[in-house]
Amino acid sequence: MTDDSTYRAGDADRSEALDRLGTYFADGFLTVHEFDERSGRAAGAQTHGELASLFDDLPGLSASNRAEPPAHRMGSEVAAQEELDDVLARNRKVQAVDAVIWSVTMIAFFLGLFVFHWNFFWVVFPVAALASWGARAVFQLSDEEEELAEELTQKEKEERAERLRLAAEKRRELGQ
């Protein structure tokens, strides 16, 4: 059986260890001095064993967690982030295609109704709905993925608005 503690640690492993130390510090398990000392050791760690030893006396770590290299846990997080980025990119593409479809639909509707006096000017709406549905099929965007992307986009907009509001308040406080 191979001892994982002798495997070389990479930047991602050291970064994950630093994040965990920050959590322990924020939760009050480490003093400022201990945090500084352990952070320095984490930044210079060359093996998973050196990283694991930083957490030996801290609660919440079982032997199996210490033996598992942090990179294995981070791999699934990275894959999840990449999958989320893919969903968000596909959602942006679908939104762009929808904007074009419905813009052309409205132009065709008004032209058909007022300029060309078509009897079946309303047909453009079912055609547009089918085209919009087809865009989702082409980009393989499910309803759940679209809802998630919309929810995340809305949350990002709200967070940005809050950041801007706080910046405006600080600017007013400083008299600028």
Within this chain, do residues 169 and 86 fall inside the same structural domain, yes or no?
yes
Within this chain, do residues 141 and 82 fall inside the same structural domain, yes or no?
yes
Within this chain, do residues 63 and 128 fall inside the same structural domain, yes or no?
no
Per-residue model confidence (pLDDT) at position 64: 40
Within this chain, do residues 13 and 40 fall inside the same structural domain, yes or no?
yes
Given a cut of 70, is residue 153 above it in pLDDT?
A: yes
Backbone dihedral angles phi then psi of residue 47, each to the nearest 5 degrees: -130, 165
Distance CA 148, CA 160 (A): 18
Last residue of a domain, one of 36, 68, 100: 68
Per-residue model confidence (pLDDT) at position 101: 96
Per-residue model confidence (pLDDT) at position 18: 87
Last residue of a domain, one of 43, 68, 93: 68
Last residue of a domain, one of 19, 41, 68: 68
Distance CA 115, CA 175 (A): 57
CB 128 within 8 A of CB 105: yes
Within this chain, do residues 88 and 115 fall inside the same structural domain, yes or no?
yes
Distance CA 42, CA 163 (A): 33
Within this chain, do residues 80 and 159 fall inside the same structural domain, yes or no?
yes
Q: Express each pLDDT in 20-75 by its tens digit.
A: 988 888 888 888 888 889 988 988 999 989 998 998 888 874 444 444 445 555 67
Given a cut of 60, is residue 133 above it in pLDDT?
A: yes
Within this chain, do residues 84 and 29 fall inside the same structural domain, yes or no?
no
CB 92 within 8 A of CB 145: no
Residues in the chain: 176
Q: Express each pLDDT in 73-84 by its tens digit.
A: 567 788 888 999
Query: Within 8-142, where are the H helices?
Result: 11-26, 32-44, 48-53, 63-67, 70-110, 124-138
Within this chain, do residues 82 and 55 fall inside the same structural domain, yes or no?
no
Mean pLDDT of the residues in the chain: 86
Per-residue model confidence (pLDDT) at position 70: 52
Mean pLDDT of 127-141: 95
Within this chain, do residues 51 and 128 fall inside the same structural domain, yes or no?
no
Return the top range by mean pLDDT from 25-34, 138-147, 163-172. Answer: 138-147
CB 99 within 8 A of CB 132: no
Nearest to 72, CA basis, from 142, 12, 144: 12
Within this chain, do residues 63 and 86 fall inside the same structural domain, yes or no?
no
Within this chain, do residues 103 and 155 fall inside the same structural domain, yes or no?
yes
Within this chain, do residues 64 and 86 fall inside the same structural domain, yes or no?
no
Structural domain boundaries, residue 39: 4-68
Total count of domains within the chain:
2
Given a cut of 50, is residue 86 above it in pLDDT?
A: yes
Query: Within 27-69, where are the H helices?
Result: 32-44, 48-53, 63-67
Q: Is this structure's pTM higher than 0.75?
A: no
